[in-house]
Structure 1
Amino acid sequence: MNLLRSATLLRHLALTLLAGFALYLLSLELDPFRNFQLATVAAYLCATAGLTVLTGLSGQLSLGHGALMAVGAYTVALCQNTLAEHDVTGNGVLPLSLLAGVLVTMAAGFVIGLAAARLRGPYLAGVTLAVAVAVPAATVTFDELFNSEQGLGVYVEPPPLSLGPYFPNERWQAWIALLGALLTMLLLANLVRGRFGRTLRAVRDDEVAARLSGIDVARAQVQAFVVSAAGAGLGGGLLAVLAQSVSPGAFSLTLSLFLLMAVVIGGLGSLSGAVWGALLLVALPDLAHQVSSGLVASSPAAAQRLEGNLPLLVFGLTLIVVMIAMPGGVQGLLHRVTGWARRRLPSR
């Protein structure tokens, strides 16, 4: 058994190193804007991977993950700015701020998880929805700390001088975000393949049977919320670093809905589906912007009516198409295609 667990860890570690090397080479070839998009995908991946564990594996619906990302983002902003004010700078400070963002968000996830463990269905969705509304409102209430709607700037060190005086800042940001995403995927992949993942699946499939098997259902659900919150906190902190600012408008209820739709479209319950979901979170708004730009040229009145709602419309239509054409999401479709290809190949 120990050998099997070691083999799984080594396989995941090898895949992580291979993916990291491929992404490193990709970042060298991309222009600054594409590197920034790549970094944004990596930041979203931390959140979608955590939400996949919560919703796909434990069966708990969350409409408040955008608020958890806001907790991580504001924590990172406050840590970075406070340390800079006390002349504590350097590239080694950022990992500490990101760690603080993860820990604070895990604490928030623990509190929400305690309440969620007693609720089911629409009641659980209602609690997480309240969190999604309450967190941005709190930033306005405590405006002396969070600077209300204007938000906070985030002090971020430039790339190390050892990389050269003209090293692109966007590439450095991409490396930071990709490292965070790869570590998140490595840790979650080992968690869901182990006892923790089996426990969550048992709770999701049948809570009564899980209790009869000796599983503490409430504890497992709280743990799922904490793990999921950690991913959201890291993703929010990375977004704050990329934008070098944080405001309540960046973490609205719409973001929570986008995150949920992204993991469903990508493939609910699969970490690979979380990757597709993160890609869609960046690609679909970009597509909506291109459509909006075309409408401005042809019909300014229609573009004005759709302004702000077009990304949600594109996500909604994509979700409808995916649910009809491929209920298992993008990753489910890929599984079916590869399974069909294996059956069609002649056996040796």
Structure 2
Amino acid sequence: MDLPIDLQYLFHQLRIIKVFQDIQKIYYPLLAAAGVPLNLVTIVNLSRGKCGLSKCVTRYLVAMAAADLLVVIIDLILRQIPIVYSERFVFLLYFPVCNIHAVLLYAATDCSVWFTVTFTFDRFVAICCQKLKTKYCTEKTAAVILGTVSVLSCLKDITWYFMYTGKYKLDNDPWFCSVTPGVTDSQLWTAIELLHYILTPFVPFILILLLNALIVKNILVANRARRRLRGHDTGENARDPEMVSRRKSIILLFVISGNFILLWAMLMMQSVWNRMIYVLGVFSALPRFVQETGFMLQLLSCSTNTFIYAVTQTKFRDQLKNVVNYHFTVIVKFIK
């Protein structure tokens, strides 16, 4: 006997979710095994100051790697892996610390996202605002900006401590803790949740796209003016040291920005869609696998910057090779 269409659709969705859960049981542990050492190596490599980057840029990139490392630990290792292996982590239900976990997770995620925005703005100033560059693009200013973002992120996300209980749900839901009774129906909850989605990642999306568009416009104008000044129509750009240096900085910026936008896009789309359903009461819910894919891509974004630096920065790649060769030599000697 054929099942009704609604039951067929439900059965189909459950099968897709089961497939995603099986994939996640392999994907998340592998991502954690790669994400922790990659971010640690990035932090060490950049901190040594031998990658040919300015101290200001280095400070931003180190902060981004540190924030990504925290997300890998707090979100991937302490949240997603226990959820996909929930039958082995039932003991977490007896540890009433989920609201503390939530505050740390959301604060780390906010820092990871907004550090990318502050780095983009720093490069915008360096490329488009030459008069402001010497005052703004400094190591001290970078430290102040990064510290301010960290403090504001913690202050913003401390509200989740009071909105959640300490009990884990062990369910792959954006709100992975049990909620304080009566909170979900309150206007305060709606306002905080809406602010959360607006600030991470909707506003960063808009700012990064806007800043990159302005940078591209400035580059095109500057390139035309520089060619006129040098008296050549074509061919000279490739041998212009100033343009070569600027090109490397721009490639690094655009690849980091593009990586962020690409890997966060699905989760942002799903989050905005859910809010439209909740607020407007229209549209149908997106399939569950959209959310699962969004989580997987968002966490992948915390482990890709090492590859970006290795591809776009020759000196970083050389330093990375030295680190790998050194540890390989130590392991070989130990085995012998």
TM-score range, shorter chain: under 0.3
* Larger RCO of the pair (alpha carbons < 8 Å, separation 6+): 1
Give the TM-score normalised by the residue count of structure 2. Answer: 0.26
Structure with the greater alpha carbon radius of gyration:
2
